[in-house]
C-alpha cells in the first residue's frame, strides 16, 4: 500500500451485507451500497461527521422532463480531514414520474409524485462525492458482477468480525459465518421463533459478560442450528449489549 493509495485501499472494499441489487427500466441492473454503511466507513476512517469529515449546504435544481415528468438534481460538496479538502457530487431523482397507460389492466396513464425525491437526490449526491476517495470502489468498478469476488470479500469481512466481537467466548464463530443452519420456515415450525425472541430479550438485560459466557455454553447446541439471519441478529444484539456494559 503506497501513501497516495492509503485512503483508497482502506475504503475500497464493500461488505456485501450492506449492498442490494436493483433493476431499472430497459433491463439495466446493478448493485447499490447502503448510505448508512458509507457514513459508518467514513466515520471509522476520519472520525465523527462534522469533525473529521462533513457535508456542506446542498443546492437543488428542478428540471421539466418529457411527458410532464419533473426531475430534481442536487449538487453538494463534502470534505474530509479539513474543510478545505473539498469533494463535489451531483445526484438526481424524479419528483414527478409518468406512468404510461396499461390497456391490459384498463389502467389510464397517470403521474406519481415522490415526496422523498429531494432526499434521494441529496443522498445520491453525497455518495457520488465521496466516491472520489474510493468508498465502495469495488462496486463502482463492476467487481460485484463477479460472484467469486463477492464470496471472497464476504469471507474477508467475516474474518474481520472474528477480531471484533463476533466470536463465541470459547473461540468458535458459532453465530456468524458457520453454515446457514435450518431455514426460517423450519425454525418457526419447530416453535423456535418464541425462543429466539426470548433470547433477544435476555441479551438486553444481561448484567455482565461473565453471565453472557455462561448463557452461551448453556444454549450453544440450540443456537448453532438457527437460521444464519437469526444468528446475525443475536450477534448484533450482543455487540450492542457489550457497548452498554462497557459504558456502564
pLDDT at residue number 25: 67
Residues 65/51, Cβ–Cβ less than 8 Å: no
Give the pLDDT of residue 138. Answer: 95
pTM of the full predicted structure? 0.63
Helix/strand/coil (H/E/C) assignment for every residue in the chain: CCHHHHHHHHHCCCCHHHEEEEECCCCCEEEEECHHHHHHHHHHHHCCECCCEEECCCEEEEEECHHHCEEEEEEEEEEECEEEEEEEEEEEEEEEEEECCEHHHCECCEEEECCCHHHHHHHHHHHHHHHHHCCCHHHHCCHHHCHHHHHHHHHHHHHHHCCCCCCCCCCCCCCCCCCCCCCHHHHHHCCHHHHHHHHHHHHHCCCCHHHHHHHHHHHHHHHHCCCHHHHHHHHHHHHHHHHHHHHC
Q: Please identify which residue in the block is written with the cell numbers 461488505.
A: 15
Looking at residue 111, its pLDDT comes to: 93
Bridge-based pairing of strands 53-55 and 70-80 is: antiparallel
> Who has greater pLDDT, 195 or 64?
64
The pLDDT of residue 2 is 66
> For 7-14, what is the mean pLDDT?
92
Q: Which residues on adjacent β-strands are paired with residue 92?
A: 73
Q: 27-61: per-residue pLDDT in tens?
A: 678 899 999 999 999 998 988 999 999 999 999 99
Per-residue pLDDT tens digits for 68-122: 999 999 999 999 988 899 999 999 999 999 988 887 777 888 999 999 999 999 9
Q: How far apart are CA 97 and CA 112, in angstroms?
A: 5
pLDDT tens readout for residues 155-209: 888 766 654 444 443 333 444 434 555 666 666 677 777 777 777 777 777 777 6
Q: How far apart are CA 205 and CA 222, in angstroms?
A: 20
What pLDDT band is residue 239 in, cutting at 50, 70 and 90?
confident
Q: What is the mean pLDDT of residues 218-239?
A: 72
CA 14 to chain centroid, in Å, comes to 9
Amino acid at each position: 500500500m503506497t501513501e497516495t493509495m492509503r485512503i483508497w485501499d482502506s475504503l475500497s472494499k464493500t461488505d456485501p451485507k450492506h449492498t442490494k441489487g436493483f433493476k431499472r427500466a430497459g433491463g439495466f441492473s446493478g448493485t447499490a451500497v447502503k448510505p448508512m454503511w458509507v457514513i459508518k466507513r467514513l466515520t471509522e476512517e476520519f472520525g465523527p461527521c462534522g469533525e473529521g469529515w462533513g457535508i456542506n449546504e446542498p443546492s437543488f435544481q428542478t428540471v421539466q422532463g418529457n411527458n410532464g415528468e419533473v426531475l430534481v438534481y442536487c449538487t453538494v460538496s463534502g470534505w474530509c480531514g479539513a474543510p478545505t479538502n473539498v469533494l463535489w457530487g451531483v445526484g438526481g431523482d424524479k419528483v414527478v414520474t409518468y406512468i404510461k397507460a396499461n390497456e391490459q389492466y384498463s389502467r389510464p396513464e397517470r403521474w406519481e409524485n415522490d415526496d422523498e425525491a429531494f432526499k434521494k437526490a441529496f443522498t445520491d449526491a453525497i455518495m457520488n462525492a465521496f466516491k472520489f476517495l474510493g468508498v465502495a470502489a469495488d462496486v463502482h468498478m463492476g467487481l460485484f458482477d463477479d460472484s467469486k469476488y463477492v464470496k471472497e470479500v464476504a469471507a474477508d469481512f467475516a474474518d474481520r468480525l472474528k477480531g471484533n466481537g463476533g466470536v463465541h467466548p470459547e473461540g468458535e464463530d458459532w453465530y456468524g459465518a458457520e453454515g446457514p443452519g435450518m431455514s426460517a420456515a423450519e425454525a418457526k415450525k419447530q416453535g423456535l421463533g418464541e425462543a429466539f425472541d426470548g433470547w433477544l430479550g435476555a441479551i438486553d438485560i444481561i448484567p455482565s459478560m461473565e453471565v453472557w459466557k455462561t448463557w452461551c455454553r448453556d444454549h450453544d447446541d440450540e443456537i448453532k442450528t438457527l437460521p444464519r439471519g437469526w444468528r446475525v441478529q443475536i450477534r448484533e444484539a450482543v455487540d450492542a449489549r457489550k457497548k452498554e456494559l462497557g459504558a456502564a
